[in-house]
Amino acid sequence: MHKQLFLNRSFFLYLIGQTVSSLGDGFYLVGFMWLAMQLSGGKGIVLGGIFSIFTICEIVFGFIAGPVADRFNKKRILIIVDIIRGLVIAILFVLVKFNAITILHLYVITLIFSAVSPFFHRTEFAIIPQLVEKEMLLKANGFLGGSKKLMQVIAPSLGGILIGFFGVAVCFLLDAISFFVSVLCIIPVVLKSTTERTVINEKKNIFAEIKQGFWILRCSSFLLTLAIYALCINFFAGPLFPLLPLVSERIGFGPSGYGLMMSLISAGLITSSFLIGFVQKFLSTIKMLLAGLIISAIAISILGWAPLSGLIIFAAFILGIAMNLSNLPIITLFQKNIPQDKIGVVSSFVFTFAQVAMPISMILSGYLVDTFSLSTIFLSIGVVVFLSAIVGFALPQFRQPELQIETQFEH
């Protein structure tokens, strides 16, 4: 089975391109966050503003990207988006290299980058079935996801080391190159024809699909409760990732420490992918989600107050495990119980709605870090997430979610 998958030239080329691109993305993340902290003088409001722009674009363009991917040439979309992203990051490299970079440039680059990226992500989700046969989809998704997570483990630590030796500009140069490598790998890819599917999709327009998603969300007590529940948690936990570079600075680790924390979070994500099959034998989907939240709360609290750097690094790894325990069960629940012709609009609407409050949260994080200590902020987030998990156990809408979804789509 593995040999057959790698003999598929189109999939193999796409896998190589996205693996290289993911490595570049990891360099970019570490370099960008460290650059933002340097330019802002460590002010959390700047980091919060950058994350807010990113999240707002994900929300706004996330609704549009799915229908666009269904209506236009998917291969062309991927190539155009990667060319745009490569050029934007190349411009960032030049600005940093010649010491012309300002905070305003970071905001503009974040806006452009995050506006086009949802089109790539939604198109990639739809293009995999056109690269491999149906019986190979699970293996193909596993290899593609695994390679990206592996790069997420390697890139942050390596990026931190590169910054220490060569400066932050090298991270942006490597990321720009990685996008053009991705383009070169996508160009020779051959996609299977999906004429019948395109004809069906052309009968709907973007606004009709958005309206349908809103109607489904409003009529399902489980989906609506889940979306509101996730929205509340995201609001209170929103400051977490924008403030991680400040945690690394507090313990004297610098960029290498931040890269190491991000790598260990990714390592935790990979580890939990192997553990989740074992855990689901003992816990239901919702209980697994809530257990993940409780573990996340403990890890977040440790990140804020732990005096030992080793304990903070361990907490980052545990946080990665807990994040997957909270996210994967819901993704699987949707895949198993929502009809295939509705899964795109339903999952997009639920997950996007859950992100609506994050820009506000990230903006507030900047004010919070300038007013309160990091220990107070992280401990508060941990307490709120823990209490949210306890509330989740008591919600009647979270009982028998599979049956509720099946009943919803029978009508």
- Chain position carrying tokens 């440039």: 105
| Residue 42 tokens, joined | 């460590």
Domains, the chain, in order of start with CATH, read: 1-203 (1.20.1250.20), 205-411 (1.20.1250.20)
The yes-or-no verdict on residue 274 having pLDDT over 70 is: no
Quote the pTM value: 0.66
Model confidence over 83-108: pLDDT tens digits?
Answer: 999 999 999 999 999 988 888 898 89
Question: How many CB atoms within 10 Å of residue 259?
Answer: 31
Model confidence over 218-249: pLDDT tens digits?
Answer: 777 787 788 888 888 888 887 777 777 777 77
Higher pLDDT, 85 or 131: 85
Query: Where does residue 307 rank: exposed (0-12), middle (13-18), buried (19+ CB within 10 A)?
Result: exposed
| Residue 190 tokens, joined | 């051959």
The yes-or-no verdict on residue 131 having pLDDT over 60 is: yes
| Residue 392 tokens, joined | 């989740």
CB 203 within 8 A of CB 71: no
Q: What was the pLDDT predicted at 283?
A: 79
Q: Which residues contact 166 (CB under 8 A, 6 or more apart)?
A: none
| Residue 61 tokens, joined | 């363009």
What is the mean predicted confidence (pLDDT) over 369-396?
Answer: 86
Lowest mean pLDDT among 150-159, 263-272, 357-366: 357-366
CA 50, CA 257: separation in Å to the nearest integer?
21
- Give the per-residue SS3 of 310-344: HHHHHHHHHHHHHHHHHHHHHHHHHHHHCCCCCHH
Torsion of the alpha carbons at 371, 376, 380 and 386, rounded to the nearest 10: 160
| Residue 218 tokens, joined | 């409003």
Model confidence over 132-159: pLDDT tens digits?
Answer: 776 666 567 667 766 777 787 788 778 8
CA 336, CA 386: separation in Å to the nearest integer?
28
- E-assigned strand segments in 251-403: none
Higher pLDDT, 41 or 295: 295
Question: How many CB atoms within 10 Å of residue 399?
Answer: 11
- Per-residue b or e along 174-187, where b marks 16 or more CB atoms closer than 10 Å to that residue's CB: bbbbbbbbbbebbe
